[in-house]
Amino acid sequence: MRKYYQAALVIIAIVSLVSLLFYRHEYNKLRYVLEVFNYFGKPNQRSEMNCTNNVPVFTKFDMKFEEPLSAWQRLDDDLYVYSAYNIRDKEIQVIGFGSSNSIKDMQCQILFENEIEPVLGSFNYLSINSNNLNSTSTGRNIDYRGYHFYCTYTKNKIPIGIMFLTKSNSDLQNIPILPIKNQSHNLNYVNIGVCITPSLTKPIQPLQMISFIQFHDIIGVDNFIVYDFGIPSQYNSNFKELSKSPNPYWKFTYTIVPWNFPFLNTHPTIIKDLIQADCLYRTYNKVMYITTLSWEEYIVLRYHHSLTDLMTDFKKSKMKADRYKLKTLTFCTQQTDSVSNKNVTLMIFRKLHYDTSIPDNQPIYIYNTHEVFKKNIYTRDIGKDLVILNRYQYCPGKSNIETGTEDTTILRFTEDVQSSQIYRKFITENKFLLNSSN
């Protein structure tokens, strides 16, 4: 009997040894795979967890949206320039604003890399369309417009700066030099960005900024480019710090672009068209889709969960376009809060009645940035059954706005917003100084 026990023990020992060796082999294979993932990361993934030591590993692309470092610079009393780009071959594109009289007989001179003397270029211009609103007046009965300035050249060198000579200012020593941003031609990013125009109401409240960024982050906006005109530095610092955090829950970038527009009382549509023109140059070949919104505007998806999903469906159904036009609903902010949502923190979930008498005269477009500089841009209108643009504004002279039509589509995002990490950080944990009831 003892022999059988000994034989059984030997067999058990052999099986245990074989199992141990097999387990060790599989463990080493798994450990090797995890080390590879930790070092290289998974394909197309910007945020990853280090599996061996439980430390988050996070990578963000530096799109350098702040380049060029732009500011409105005076050429003469009636003409200003803002930013310069080199997107097309041997042509520089500049954003400008001023009177048509000042543009006549204007010349451009280009500074090239490793050269001291500027070279005369060939000047041309095109008005930035603002639906018959792209003009303003300073009290001198002069019309002002936004312009694309074009300066072409023949040299096979890299342009680094541009100057403009006018009738009243031809002294090169007193002419500002705009740095030129040479945009790459071989990038293929698939993310989404939004350029944000200055708020219509000043001073802007932090809760307004939190609401906008949080909501659009949820629907898949990766990049926020803020044209800053009076935003407190504390608010910008908080969002920049957040965007640079390795926390995998927020993956967006937050870029500040100065906006010191020189003419007061200019129509908001003119401002938006100027910013949109600069935005398209600034984001060219850096994002796949771009739109320009104010802090008061929200893209609301009716069925999709992200803008990327919506654009993917357009491609699949052969509805691809160079830009997509959104329908707009205006929600007057002085309306009574919704009874069922009056205790909700964010205003966008409390104001649910839109005014049908307010015309949609400020079209919003989502651009495919790879196609926007073609000669003929194909525009497709998106039906209200897929997506809508909610605009929240004060409506002067409106008294019975509670009788307007109700649209509750935005409420489908209430739970996502209130459970988001940004909401918890800035509202539940009160990281911002929330001194506004809006």
- The CATH number covering residue 400 comes to 3.90.550
Residue 380 lies in a domain: yes
DSSP states of 269-294 as a string? HHHHHHHHHHHHHHTTTT-SEEEEEE
Does residue 203 have a cis peptide bond before it, meaning omega lies within 30 degrees of 0? yes
Determine the pLDDT at residue 424.
Answer: 80
- The CATH number covering residue 119 comes to 2.60.40
Q: Per-residue pLDDT for the chain (438 aa), expressed as one digit of tens each?
A: 566 666 666 677 676 666 655 556 555 554 444 443 443 344 434 444 444 344 444 455 677 899 998 999 999 888 999 999 999 889 999 999 998 888 888 999 999 998 989 999 999 999 997 554 444 544 444 578 999 999 999 999 999 999 999 887 777 777 889 999 987 755 566 789 999 999 877 888 889 999 999 999 999 999 999 999 989 998 999 888 888 877 666 778 999 999 999 988 888 889 999 999 999 999 998 899 999 999 999 999 999 999 999 999 998 888 889 999 999 999 999 988 988 888 888 999 999 999 988 888 888 999 998 888 888 899 999 999 999 999 999 988 776 555 668 999 999 999 999 888 888 877 766 655 444 444
Residues 321 and 207 in one domain: yes
Residues 232 and 363 in one domain: yes
Residues 236 and 331 in one domain: yes
- The residue among 127, 148, 182 that closes a domain is 182
Residue 437 lies in a domain: no
Residues 90 and 222 in one domain: no
Instruction: Give the pair of three-digit tokens for residue 243.
Output: 């965007």
Task: Give the Å distances, CA to CA, from 82 to 77, 92, 101, 325.
Answer: 15, 13, 19, 27
Determine the pLDDT at residue 374.
Answer: 81
Residues 112 and 51 in one domain: no
Residues 272 and 417 in one domain: yes
**367 phi/psi in degrees, rounded to 5:** -100, 140
Among the listed residues 104, 43, 47, 98, the one whose alpha carbon sits nearest the alpha carbon of residue 76: 98
Determine the pLDDT at residue 330.
Answer: 94
Residues 7 and 89 in one domain: no
What is the rounded CA–CA span in Å between residue 391 and residue 330?
A: 5
Residue 434 lies in a domain: no
Is residue 253 within 8 Å of residue 65, measured between CB atoms?
A: yes
Residues 254 and 385 in one domain: yes
Q: How many domains does the chain have?
A: 3
∠ CA(420), CA(228), CA(71), 5° rounding? 145
Does residue 258 have a cis peptide bond before it, meaning omega lies within 30 degrees of 0? no
Residue 413 lies in a domain: yes
Q: Please state, as a whole number, how many other Cβ atoms lie within 10 Å of the Cβ of residue 101.
A: 12
Residues 266 and 382 in one domain: yes
Element (H, E) at 208: helix 206-218
Determine the pLDDT at residue 172.
Answer: 74
Among the listed residues 104, 209, 229, 271, the one whose alpha carbon sits nearest the alpha carbon of residue 422: 209
Determine the pLDDT at residue 258.
Answer: 95
Dihedral class, residue 98 (left if φ above 0, else alpha if ψ from -120 to 50, else beta): left
Residue 172 lies in a domain: yes
Burial class (CB in 10 A: 0-12, 13-18, 19+), 306: middle
Is residue 86 within 8 Å of residue 181, measured between CB atoms?
A: yes
The radius of gyration of the chain's CA atoms, rounded to the nearest angstrom, is 28
Q: List, in order, residues 6 or more apart from 25 with CB less than 8 Å away.
A: none
Residues 334 and 414 in one domain: yes
Element (H, E) at 75: strand 73-76
pTM recorded for the entire structure:
0.81
Residues 109 and 80 in one domain: yes
**Which segments within 116-212 are labelled E, that is strand?**
119-120, 122-127, 144-152, 159-165, 178-182, 192-197
Instruction: Give the pair of three-digit tokens for residue 301.
Output: 């998806």
Residue type, 101: N
Determine the pLDDT at residue 242.
Answer: 84
Determine the pLDDT at residue 366.
Answer: 96
- The residue among 182, 204, 233 that closes a domain is 182
Residue 436 lies in a domain: no
Cα-based torsion angle of the residue sequence 176, 83, 211, 324 in order, rounded to the nearest 10 degrees: 160
What is the rounded CA–CA span in Å between residue 208 and residue 214?
A: 10
The residue with tokens 């941003």 is 181
Handedness of CA 301, 304, 305, 309 (dihedral sign): negative
- Domain boundaries, position 243: 192-428
Residues 100 and 129 in one domain: yes
Residue 67 lies in a domain: no
- The residue among 182, 203, 231 that closes a domain is 182
Residue 65 lies in a domain: no
Determine the pLDDT at residue 148.
Answer: 95
